């Protein structure tokens, strides 16, 4: 809890990953991938509660072993490849309200695919949301060498500018506009917005994370990259 605001952290982890089988519990430097998120979420000083939403018994067992509450198993229809975040969150909110009479002011999505996110990131995002009365706070990372002038499209084997004309010379990196993207580590949103099918709201603020903590695992190559980072950084 922070300034009387109750914040629920939901670790979302379905079992049917196709790009990397059993991705959420795949071994990463000696422990299941999801355990990194479980441990940092439990270290948070400001999350009121941490639960896991999963359809998979094996994932649920790992979460319980780590100390994360798994109050229910997610329905299979909410664990498909194309299932968006919001119905999963709404299911969790309604289940906790109907079965435990518990309600929360903010919901934070914590995906296991961001294992380098730390408790400090979680708590700083919460502080920013509550202190600035934001509808949501999203973790973001700066994109390097991503000036819109350098983004191209190819049509009929010819190169064209996608957004802005570059001119007669290649745009200099140091002169480019800063660009950012969500790094998928933290999504924090007011509960009432989520229940109205809105993940962002009108006032969505950024929590900037460094590149070295912003890797999101989606493909097998991402596992190789992050294993090398962890072995060289934390060895």
Sign of CA dihedral 37, 214, 79, 95: positive
As a whole number of angstroms, the distance between CA 85 and CA 82 comes to 10
Residues 6 or more apart in contact with residue 65 via CB below 8 angstroms: none
How many angstroms separate the Cα of 129 from the Cα of each of 11, 85, 203?
A: 19, 19, 10
The answer to whether 217 and 115 are in contact (CB under 8 A) is yes
Count the neighbouring beta carbons within 10 Å of the beta carbon of residue 166: 16
- Position 37 scores a pLDDT of 98
3-state secondary structure of 194: helix
Residues 6 or more apart in contact with residue 220 via CB below 8 angstroms: 19, 20
- Position 190 scores a pLDDT of 98
| CATH, range 7-141+181-234 | 3.90.550.10
- Position 59 scores a pLDDT of 97
What are the sequence ranges of the domains in the chain? 7-141+181-234
- Position 168 scores a pLDDT of 62
For the chain, 235 residues long, give each residue's pLDDT as a single digit of tens.
Answer: 899 999 999 999 998 787 788 999 999 999 999 999 999 999 999 999 999 999 999 999 999 999 999 999 999 999 888 889 999 999 999 999 999 999 999 999 999 999 999 999 999 999 999 999 999 999 999 988 777 777 889 999 988 888 887 766 666 656 667 889 999 999 999 999 999 999 999 999 999 999 989 999 988 999 999 998 888 876 5
């Amino acid at each position: 809890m922070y300034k009387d605001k109750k914040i629920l952290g939901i670790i979302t982890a379905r079992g049917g990953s196709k790009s990397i089988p059993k991705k959420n519990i795949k071994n990463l430097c000696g422990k299941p991938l999801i355990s990194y998120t479980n441990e940092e979420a439990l270290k948070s000083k400001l999350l009121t509660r941490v639960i896991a939403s999963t359809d998979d018994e094996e994932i649920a067992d790992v979460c319980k072993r780590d100390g994360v509450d798994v109050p229910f198993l997610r329905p299979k229809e909410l664990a498909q490849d194309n299932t968006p975040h919001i119905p999963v969150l709404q299911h969790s909110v309604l289940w906790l309200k109907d079965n435990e009479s518990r309600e929360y002011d903010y919901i934070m999505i914590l995906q296991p695919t961001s294992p380098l996110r730390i408790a400090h990131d979680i708590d700083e995002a919460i502080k920013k949301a509550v202190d600035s009365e934001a509808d949501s706070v999203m973790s973001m990372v700066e994109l390097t060498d991503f000036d819109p002038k350098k983004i191209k499209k190819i049509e009929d084997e010819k190169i064209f500018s996608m957004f802005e004309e570059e001119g007669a010379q290649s745009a200099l990196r140091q002169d480019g506009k800063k660009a950012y993207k969500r790094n998928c580590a933290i999504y924090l949103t007011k509960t009432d917005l989520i229940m109205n099918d809105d993940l962002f709201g009108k006032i969505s603020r950024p929590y900037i994370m460094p590149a070295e903590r912003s890797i999101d695992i989606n493909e097998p190559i991402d596992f190789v990259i992050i294993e090398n980072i962890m072995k060289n950084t934390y060895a």
